[in-house]
């Protein structure tokens, strides 16, 4: 019950951030060009700072074992999500199937998930989450992009290795394992920038959602994807991890991040590769809105 109340409070705060972003976009304060600049700032600087700062803690053998275990779980869940998407969307045309499969495979575990984990589970939870999202990033730029390219090759190795979030994980691990001490003013600056991430990232999401036509948003296919992304996948993760006696905090992190909505990259890639970008935007909105309710419900069972 305590985790449920904590997560409900976190999601209530996120709803306020969403509302602010929605209002600012409607008032013309956050335009597309402004949002593009803020998004680049988040992806290139603020999110990596938050990830890097999560490794600023004492490491123990048990914590490293738990990190290795949660990495293995993340890979297993990614493979499972890929298989589920391949299996259940075969009857859809390519322009819509690519959206559904990508949304099933790739959750918004970085842009929205990390701030939620930091708020609910603190530094240790954020450390586990930073490890958990590694497979998500690998699948995003490899299998995920190929879903839109109809078999064309892409330089996913470069995209993964040069991803700012992955670089932050690598630098953070090096700092933790080698016990590298940074000057106090550097730590303060990194922590300060990382602490900006939660509010700014969700405000940006709210501004994106403000552009979606609400009249036709709750389509059958969008709701089906929401069920798979927000209920089926985290439900399977919860049952499997509980059955195997996985560490409680690591289980919470895995379930919450697995139950995150689809990312805005779904619509961006849809637009770029000629898929149904309008449908993708609706799916982003519906899954984000419904996740405000489904994620606290899942924490009730953790």
Tens of pLDDT along 95-129? 899 999 999 998 887 767 887 888 888 888 988 99
What would the pLDDT profile of 32-67 be if each residue is shown by its tens digit?
888 888 878 887 888 788 878 877 777 777 888 888
Q: Report how far apart, in Å, the C-alpha atoms of 103 and of each of 114, 172, 176, 234 are.
A: 18, 29, 33, 14
> From residue 136, how far is each of 24, 90, 113, 178 by CA, in Å?
30, 22, 12, 26
Closest CA to 39 of 103, 108, 105, 95: 108
Identify the structural domains of the chain with CATH numbers, from first to last.
2-296 (1.20.1530.20)
DSSP structure string for 262-296: BPTHHHHHHHHTTS-HHHHHHHHHHHHHHHHHHHH
* Cα distance between residue 28 and residue 24, in whole Å: 6
Listed range (26-40, 151-165, 229-243) with the worst mean pLDDT: 151-165
Average pLDDT score over the chain = 84
Query: What is the pLDDT, as a whole number, of residue 153?
Result: 54
| Region of residue 37 (left: phi > 0; alpha: psi -120 to 50; beta: else) | alpha
pLDDT-based confidence at residue 160 (cuts at 50, 70, 90): low
258, 237 Cβ separation under 8 angstroms: yes
The mean per-residue pLDDT over the stretch 221-231 comes to 95
């Amino acid at each position: 019950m305590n985790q449920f109340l904590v997560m409900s409070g976190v999601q209530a705060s996120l709803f306020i951030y969403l509302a602010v972003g929605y209002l600012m976009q409607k008032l013309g304060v956050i335009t597309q060009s402004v949002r593009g600049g803020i998004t680049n700032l988040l992806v290139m600087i603020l999110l990596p700072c938050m990830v890097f700062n999560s490794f600023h803690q004492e490491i123990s053998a048990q914590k490293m074992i738990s990190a290795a275990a949660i990495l293995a779980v993340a890979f297993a869940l990614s493979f499972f999500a890929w298989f589920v998407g391949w299996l259940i969307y075969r009857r859809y045309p390519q322009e819509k199937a690519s959206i559904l499969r990508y949304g099933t495979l790739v959750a918004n575990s970085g842009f929205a998930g990390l701030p939620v984990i930091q708020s609910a589970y603190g530094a240790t939870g954020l450390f586990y989450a930073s490890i958990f999202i590694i497979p998500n990033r690998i699948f995003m730029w490899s299998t995920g992009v190929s879903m839109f390219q109809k078999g064309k090759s892409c330089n996913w190795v470069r995209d993964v290795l040069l991803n700012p979030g992955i670089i932050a994980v690598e630098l953070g691990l090096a700092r933790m394992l080698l016990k590298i001490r940074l000057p106090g003013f550097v730590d303060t600056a990194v922590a300060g920038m990382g602490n900006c991430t939660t509010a700014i990232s969700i405000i940006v999401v709210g501004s994106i959602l403000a552009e979606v036509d609400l009249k036709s948003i709750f389509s059958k296919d969008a709701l089906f994807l929401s069920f798979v992304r927000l209920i089926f996948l985290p439900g399977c993760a919860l049952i499997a991890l509980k059955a195997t006696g996985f560490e409680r905090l690591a289980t919470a992190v895995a379930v919450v991040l697995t139950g995150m909505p689809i990312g805005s990259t779904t619509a961006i890639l849809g637009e770029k590769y000629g898929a149904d970008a309008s449908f993708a935007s609706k799916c982003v909105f519906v899954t984000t809105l419904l996740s405000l309710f489904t994620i606290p419900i899942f924490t009730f069972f953790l």
